[in-house]
């Protein structure tokens, strides 16, 4: 079964134990200054965000059909059968197409290093390959982050909503977004109120890009579909550049 993470915003207390565990797993520095950063970056692969009295969490969504992998010309990014989307820095040529393709603005680039690489969460692929849960799930004191089989976590999320409908917004984020993701969210309020992007398509992004690009000769009859697909690869450059400037 494919592995996944379920993050329940209603249980999160903002302790940032997941951030510290992630930093330790990657060998990144983690101090008060890093803890105060509420955005993911090349040295912080998960981040707790504050939205009024509520918290949310940012990390790679590990899409079922990741756009980042589909645009990588050298196969440096791969979707594994286990669930995580992993990255091989030895193959990376630094084209940064993955930054432009990601609907969630996750991949970060080490702009200040002489030999930069892309950085993102790999959902603790090595730990999960050994039968262990992710470092963030293991460190969470409230159960706000849980790791397990995706089907089981979807069932648990539905059970929580059904048992306490007054405590939850009645949807699971990640169930259908961009064709489905391996990171799922529960929230007490609509997802945009905890910083999640709700303007992403339900269809997987590779379907919107490579399939329509094959139809270029029929552009007259498929123009609207073509433009919709190419938008995710080309027209996001300004958005990505702006986001990267904010991360520096």
* Residue 4: pLDDT over 70: yes
Which CATH code for domain 1-204?
3.30.70.20
CA–CA gap between residue 79 and residue 206 (Å, rounded)? 13
pLDDT given at position 222: 42
Cβ atoms of 167 and 52 within 8 Å: the answer is no
pLDDT given at position 245: 59
Q: Where are the domains of the chain?
A: 1-204
pLDDT given at position 207: 64
Beta strand 3-8 with 54-58 is unpaired
pLDDT given at position 166: 97
* Residue 137: pLDDT over 90: yes
Cβ atoms of 234 and 94 within 8 Å: the answer is no
* Residue 234: pLDDT over 80: no
The stretch 159-184 carries a mean pLDDT of 97
pTM of the model: 0.83
pLDDT given at position 204: 82
């Amino acid at each position: 079964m494919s592995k996944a993470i379920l993050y329940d915003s209603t249980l999160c207390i903002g302790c940032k134990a997941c951030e510290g565990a992630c930093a330790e797993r990657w060998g990144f520095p983690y101090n008060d200054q890093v803890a105060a950063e509420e955005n993911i970056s090349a040295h912080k692969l998960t981040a707790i965000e504050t939205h009024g009295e509520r918290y949310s969490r940012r990390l790679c969504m590990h899409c079922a059909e990741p756009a980042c992998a589909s645009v990588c010309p050298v196969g440096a990014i791969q979707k594994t059968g286990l669930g995580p989307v992993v990255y091989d820095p030895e193959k990376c040529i630094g084209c940064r197409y993955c930054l432009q393709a990601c609907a969630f603005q996750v991949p970060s680039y080490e702009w200040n290093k002489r030999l930069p690489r892309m950085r993102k969460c790999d959902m603790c692929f090595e730990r999960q390959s050994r039968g262990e849960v992710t470092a963030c799930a293991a460190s969470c004191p409230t159960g706000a982050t849980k790791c397990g089989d995706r089907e089981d976590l979807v069932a648990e999320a539905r059970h929580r909503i059904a048992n306490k409908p007054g405590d939850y917004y009645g949807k699971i984020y990640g169930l259908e977004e961009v064709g489905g993701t391996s990171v799922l969210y529960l929230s007490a309020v609509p997802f945009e109120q905890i910083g999640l992007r709700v303007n992403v398509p339900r269809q997987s992004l590779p379907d919107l890009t490579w399939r329509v690009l094959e139809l270029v000769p029929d552009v007259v009859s498929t123009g609207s579909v073509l433009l919709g697909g190419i938008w995710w690869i080309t027209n996001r450059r300004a958005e990505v550049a702006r986001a990267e400037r904010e991360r520096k």
